[in-house]
Structure 1
Amino acid sequence: MTDIELSKIIDAGDLGLITIDTNIFHRFGYDLTSPSLTALGQFAKSPIAFVLPDIIEGEVRNRMSGNSISATAQLRSALRDFRKARRPSAKVLADVEALLGVGDDINADVQGRWTAFVDATNAEMLTAGEYLNSDALVASYFGTKPPFEANEEKKAEFPDAIALLELEARGERDQKYVLAVSKDKGWSAFANDAKWLIIRDELPVALGFFHRADGYVVGRAVTMLEDAEKFALADDFDREVVKFVDNINPLIEADSFLFFDADFVSAEYEGRDAVQEHDVTIIDSDKDSVTLAFDAILKVNITAEFSFSIHDSIDDDYLTLGTTEVSRVVEVESHVVMKVARESGPEDGAISLEIETPRFVRVDFGEVEPDMQPDED
């Protein structure tokens, strides 16, 4: 379906539901307080309902639990290493673990965060028992119809099929179209043959269809973003970017003919590409403010220290061969959500501003080797 056709459906009041796939939650790091995700709360007082199939809820909660379990295990390991190296008192470590909630019930934590998200967005949960047509599911599976594909991974597509059939059934019941946001090709293929399902692959793009009348704000905001000397908004943005870069935790990759260990040294912000008006989308608005979403390309200088060694087969040990520091300027694509006053002036900064991109950045330093140059006196 074209953008023009979708706009006409919305204007005619024929769109009744909006939903998002698990991969959209993944896009925002399963952070249920993400302003992009909480923007779905705008439909609470509208004729359009934000719905989530139960299968999506289960997948998201499982991923959140898995992430929490993994992070907790890493933290426990780090605390054990710290205890061995620094020998702190048992009470200090116990206090730290209590402060960080290391021993807290992960399932209860996930339940609490999920409940808060559902309440904040007024999400309506769809259940397979109410909407799933099991005959249609079996027919799709054996007929290799979307989202099932002709490969050995067909069983893994059952969750998608259940969610899609629930959504199509709800659209049929209400006689309303369903706007689903997903990057899954199987969802798009299913929608091609479905009567009520419409797919878009980016959440900001989908939300932008509901704020076309506010487009005039975008041009002014983009102008204000590009001159920090004249506009407080640009200064707010640049300060937030610097804070984001200061907290980057890069995954360092490199190649060498020697064994090496890599340690992150620093990350320095060196500038960004100009924000283009056509890249900015309005994802929410009210009578006083407008919320903008856009991707910004940041240039970041990442420095890492490499320590090299070689294996001594006689003593079965590693001999240190020295270290070297290497810097690389990389481009980091950051997703920005910024709320601004609808009628803002030069001295008006952002009402709220958040960079939603995960701070884990992959940096490939290429071929590295020890610095064999003698130190200058």
Structure 2
Amino acid sequence: MGEEDHDFGGLTVDTSIFDNHGIRLESGLLRKLDQFKPTDVELAISDIVLNEVRNHLKSKVSEIKNKLEKSIKDTETHLCFDSSKINDGKSILIPEKSPEEITDERLKDFQESNGFTTVESSKYLNVDELINSYFSHKAPFSESGQKKNEFPDAIALLSLEKWAEENEIKVLAVSTDKDWVKFCEVSDWLFIKGDLAEAISTFQPKTAPYHFCDVLAKAISSGDDQAVIADIEQAACDYTNDLYLYAEATSGFFWEATDSVEVNYESFEFVEDGNNQPVLRLVEVEEESIVIEAKVIIKAEASCSFSLSVHDSIDKDYVFLDSSSASTDFEYKTDVLMTLAGEFDQGMDAVELVGIEFLSSPNSVEFGDLQPDFWDDE
């Protein structure tokens, strides 16, 4: 049976979903999990998943802290800032707390805001069932490969399944991990989706806000000139033009960017389904507002100036040759959360966009092969 045949009472999230959303516990779709706290929907997370998330988050915090410390040190060396200003910057930007302390605080805040249940493997795991699954190659174990790497998933899934069975709760699991998919396909209690927005949307009431998604989708696909759609495009323009991108390029010369990459928005489009309609997911319903998730493709132009140098084998130094200007078109795909408010049973004119959040962006843009500007004058 498909998940539409079940009345789900629980939701669980795998490590892969946390990673796919950048482990951003305080923003984006992961923050939307707090809507289930006051409801009858049980948000349950395996202790195995929590420990994996803790390790991944600690690594990310350590990485960012180390990069920040290096950048500040480079600023002192190459930009000749006064040491007192550098120390002031350190005190503001670099936390005194260790990565472990920061990680534990963030996870504690995440648990308090969501009120999720931690499914303890020591309480719910049937070791005999785990061993039998291993030797009989039952999901998530496979017949070949590094089966020892599948143990964490097996422990998490068997514990979650037992928890769901004891509480008589059908649980919708969200994961892109193939082992989770295989297990849930044969489970009586766990069912699978690979997209967090789609999973959250499953729990939304089929009321006027839910049907408004269809109205908005039809307006977008038909090209109607609507204020809401115009506001979304303006937000996409502002977000794109404010991107900070690193320049990537190749050249027969030593190159470096002489200024920041300038980005100019060109257009955007919603990712569509097989019926040529944008895929919109209702992920939160409040008393006077809703949040809709969609995926969009944004197109833009990037331009940058570079300096080109050649290596002087005698002086062992680089000698400036010429400047190079380059521009390129690029596009990127991002999830977007749109907060709308109004009378959702009164159509598009009665609704306005009150907030929008773009969940990802590129870090760099490729300018291709760089050549001296004077070559173009020949």
Question: TM-score normalised to the size of structure 1?
Answer: 0.86
Shift of 1:323: 3.3
Pairing 1:1-377 to 2, within 5 Å after superposition: 1-2=1-2, 6-10=3-7, 15-150=8-143, 152-211=145-204, 213-214=206-207, 215-222=210-217, 231-262=226-257, 264-274=260-270, 277-313=277-313, 316-343=316-343, 346=349, 348-357=351-360, 359-373=361-375
Is residue 280–residue 293 contact of structure 1 (8 Å, CA) maintained in 2?
Answer: yes
Please tell me the residue identity of whatever aligns with 1:369: Q
Please tell me the residue identity of whatever aligns with 2:92: L
- Structure 1, 25-34 or 41-50: larger mean CA deviation: 41-50
Is residue 266–residue 304 contact of structure 1 (8 Å, CA) maintained in 2?
Answer: yes
Shift of 1:281: 0.9
- Structure 1, 50-59 or 262-271: larger mean CA deviation: 262-271
Shift of 1:298: 0.8
Please tell me the residue identity of whatever aligns with 1:349: E
Is residue 343–residue 351 contact of structure 2 (8 Å, CA) maintained in 1?
Answer: no
Is residue 342–residue 351 contact of structure 2 (8 Å, CA) maintained in 1?
Answer: no
Distance 1:360 1:62, change over 3 A: farther
Please tell me the residue identity of whatever aligns with 1:107: E
- Structure 1, 236-245 or 29-38: larger mean CA deviation: 236-245
Per-residue CA shift, 1:163-221, capped at 9, x if unaligned? Answer: 11111111221232211001111111111222211000001111222236143211444
Is residue 266–residue 301 contact of structure 2 (8 Å, CA) maintained in 1?
Answer: yes
Identity of aligned residues (%): 29
The CA distance in 1 between the partners of 2:145 and 2:313, in whole Å, is: 45
Aligned length: 368
The CA distance in 2 between the partners of 1:162 and 1:342, in whole Å, is: 46
Question: TM-score normalised to the size of structure 2?
Answer: 0.86
Is residue 293–residue 335 contact of structure 2 (8 Å, CA) maintained in 1?
Answer: yes
Is residue 222–residue 275 contact of structure 1 (8 Å, CA) maintained in 2?
Answer: no
The CA distance in 2 between the partners of 1:226 and 1:361, in whole Å, is: 30
The CA distance in 1 between the partners of 2:334 and 2:249, in whole Å, is: 24
> Secondary structure in 2 aligned to 1:349?
strand
- Structure 1, 310-319 or 129-138: larger mean CA deviation: 310-319
Distance 1:331 1:360, change over 3 A: closer
Please tell me the residue identity of whatever aligns with 2:373: D
- Structure 1, 50-59 or 132-141: larger mean CA deviation: 132-141
Please tell me the residue identity of whatever aligns with 1:148: F
Runs (5+) with no aligned partner, structure 1? none
> Secondary structure in 2 aligned to 1:268?
strand
The CA distance in 2 between the partners of 1:42 and 1:352, in whole Å, is: 18
Distance 1:150 1:317, change over 3 A: farther
Please tell me the residue identity of whatever aligns with 1:61: R
Please tell me the residue identity of whatever aligns with 2:177: D
Distance 1:9 1:227, change over 3 A: closer
- Structure 1, 347-356 or 113-122: larger mean CA deviation: 347-356
Please tell me the residue identity of whatever aligns with 2:371: E
Shift of 1:318: 4.0
Per-residue CA shift, 1:99-125, capped at 9, x if unaligned? Answer: 113433322222222122112212111
Is residue 161–residue 190 contact of structure 2 (8 Å, CA) maintained in 1?
Answer: yes
The CA distance in 1 between the partners of 2:27 and 2:144, in whole Å, is: 35
Is residue 55–residue 159 contact of structure 1 (8 Å, CA) maintained in 2?
Answer: yes
Shift of 1:152: 4.8
The CA distance in 2 between the partners of 1:72 and 1:90, in whole Å, is: 20
Please provide the CA RMSD for this pair.
2.9
